[in-house]
Copies of this chain bind each other. A is one copy, B any other.
Amino acid sequence: MIDNEYYSEDVHGPHEYFELGDFTLEMGETLPGARLAYKTHGTLNGAKDNAILFPHMYSGTPKAMEIFVGEGRALDPGKYFIIFPGQFGNGFSSSPSNTAAPLDRGAFPKVMIGDDVRAQHRLVTEKFGISELQLVLGWSMGAEQTYESAVRYPDMVKRAAPFAGTAKTTPHDIVFVRLHEDAIKSDPAWNGGFYDEPHAVHMGLRRHAQVWSVMGATQELYKREAWRDAGYSSLEDFNRRFWEGWFVPMDPDNLLTMAWKWRHGDVSRHTDGDLAAALGRITAKTFVMPFSGDMFFPPADCAEEQKLIADSELRVIESLWGHFTMFCMTEQDRQAIDDNLRDLLAVGAEAPSPKAVDGAGRMPAAA
């Protein structure tokens, strides 16, 4: 077990844990005593038909999704029961940093998106007894999980909102993910994954952050110095406090577990490599929502997949923040995301009950 204050309740708030027992992974290895860390907001109603599942992106944890939840917002905890599952490798769910030998650190098994989604399905069905999800959504690796859920459990997923992500990882994305993996591995302190002190690998983590700084936001954002609006005083300040500030506290092997998983995301493995057949299984009303200047997931790549989903719409969100639009660094980005989610949740929805509308029984909004 790696000691890293980053993966603490002090930093990420409390989690609940769902025990998966000995969990056999898609690639064949078994993770003994596997656990899924999660958070929830709102209350599951008696009919158990107000649940939303919102898995998170690479390098994230459930906490990073809380910026989307609030009274009067699309994801209103007074109306919905919102589940944030942690993906394997995030430092709270089973991860290199929290798994005992012999599966610790560099020996942690390879995990697939399908493993996360099977674990989430067990949480949703076994723990909560839910058989219908009003919405599954997520961005980036969260979108991968969203697609996987919608393909794997079409009867369960009523609506799907994959933001800035793909159902099958594109070749360019594979090249990009390898680049940021190799940036970490280039640090001799990484030592094949067997370090004692994750922060000793800080040069690798900084180089990894540097790759993200080039690919993660638009050229236009840099030109307009739009990072100033987010509170940064110079390009160096943006680099240090935003990009390095986000990634450098993390565990290198945790990031590498998620990166490998990202790179291998592909719903067409359910259909012998036929992507159209896999996406053809989706019955959810789906809004495919790329970000205009995203260099990992260009709108054109997302549009190709959207055309293969029967009941779907392409909704491109314009922002200078590229792939990082989902950080809601501007009020406009937050609004655009909320507006689209509101539209999607309204599709096929019965009129909300007065009780939901007047907010009775609402949980406090997330900070």
Select one of B182, B183, B219, B235 contacting A298, CB under 8 A.
Answer: B219
Known: A179-B214, A223-B171. A188 touches B186 (CB 8 A): no
Determine if B211 and A179 form an interchain contact, defined as CB atoms under 8 angstroms apart.
Answer: yes
| A172 at the binding interface (Cβ < 8 Å) | yes
Closest to A243 in B: B175
Using Cβ atoms and an 8 Å threshold, which residues of chain B touch A186? 186, 203, 207
Size class of the A contact interface (CB-based, 8 Å): 20 to 34
Select one of B170, B188, B219, B300 contacting A222, CB under 8 A.
Answer: B170
Closest to A180 in B: B214
Least distance between A340 CB and chain B CB atoms (Å): 23
| A225 at the binding interface (Cβ < 8 Å) | yes
User: How far is B223's CA from A295's CA once the two chains are assembled, in angstroms?
Assistant: 14
User: How far is B295's CA from A332's CA once the two chains are assembled, in angstroms?
Assistant: 25
How many copies the complex holds: the figure is 2
Determine if A170 and B223 form an interchain contact, defined as CB atoms under 8 angstroms apart.
Answer: yes
Least distance between A160 CB and chain B CB atoms (Å): 23
User: How far is B211's CA from A221's CA once the two chains are assembled, in angstroms?
Assistant: 21
Using Cβ atoms and an 8 Å threshold, which residues of chain B touch A173? 219
Select one of B174, B188, B207 contacting A182, CB under 8 A.
Answer: B207
Select one of B172, B175, B176, B223 contacting A172, CB under 8 A.
Answer: B223
Determine if A182 and B210 form an interchain contact, defined as CB atoms under 8 angstroms apart.
Answer: yes
User: How far is B276's CA from A343's CA once the two chains are assembled, in angstroms?
Assistant: 45
Determine if B171 and A222 form an interchain contact, defined as CB atoms under 8 angstroms apart.
Answer: yes
In the complex, besides A179-B214, A219-B295, A219-B301, 10 extra interface pairs with C-beta distance below 8 angstroms are A170-B223, A172-B214, A174-B235, A175-B222, A175-B235, A179-B211, A182-B210, A183-B207, A211-B211, A220-B300
The 6 closest A-B pairs by CB, nearest first: A171-B222, A172-B222, A172-B219, A176-B214, A179-B214, A179-B210
Q: What are 12 pairs between A and B in contact, CB < 8 Å? A: A170-B219, A170-B223, A171-B225, A171-B235, A172-B221, A174-B235, A179-B211, A182-B210, A186-B186, A186-B207, A214-B215, A219-B295
